[in-house]
Amino acid sequence: MRFFSGQITLDGRTFHGEPLGFGVQGHNCGYRHRNFWTWAHVYFPRDGRPPTTLEALIYEMPFGLVFRKAVLWHDGQPHLFRDLRETGDRESLKWNFHCAARDRFRIDAAIDGRGPSVHRLPYLKTDGSGSFEVRNNSLASASLLLESTGGPAERLETTTGAVLEMVG
């Protein structure tokens, strides 16, 4: 996640901001073509508190293994999740999962990539044998339910602060 501060002048109009905005860069799963992956990045601005961000990735690996990892930054602290349990229907560009970290922090995530901002992009296979379709929505919505030991549950929501990408 990158933050941009300062000003931009376009066609005689100047836009100022502290921060002016934020951006997300895509990911790369390596040199080998993957048969499936699901990737999401979510940004939750919070008044008077640091933003909460979540990045999650699941993809197919050799020998039938599946990589699963999510990192949540909440109240300035990282929480690492390795055991993402998916639920729901991936075909509709919706991704629901829940997971628990070793520090007993738990999340239930619902990321909805449906809507007018969906892109279906042909990606070339890394071995040059053809292409495959990638579905992406960089204006997706998301909802997180955060639970920690000894604290109240907290729900975070955004209508356009998520990116969801699915293949396979």
- Structure confidence at residue 33 as a pLDDT band (50, 70, 90): low
Q: Which two tokens stand for residue 126?
A: 């890394």
Q: How far apart are CA 34 and CA 36, in angstroms?
A: 5
Burial pattern 64-73, b for ≥16 Cβ within 10 A else e, equals: eeeebebebb
pLDDT tens readout for residues 36-91: 889 999 999 999 999 999 999 998 888 889 999 999 999 989 999 998 999 877 77
Q: How far apart are CA 136 and CA 75, in angstroms?
A: 28
pLDDT tens readout for residues 94-112: 999 999 988 888 999 999 9
pLDDT tens readout for residues 2-30: 455 677 787 888 876 665 455 444 455 54
pTM exceeding the 0.85 threshold for the entire prediction: no
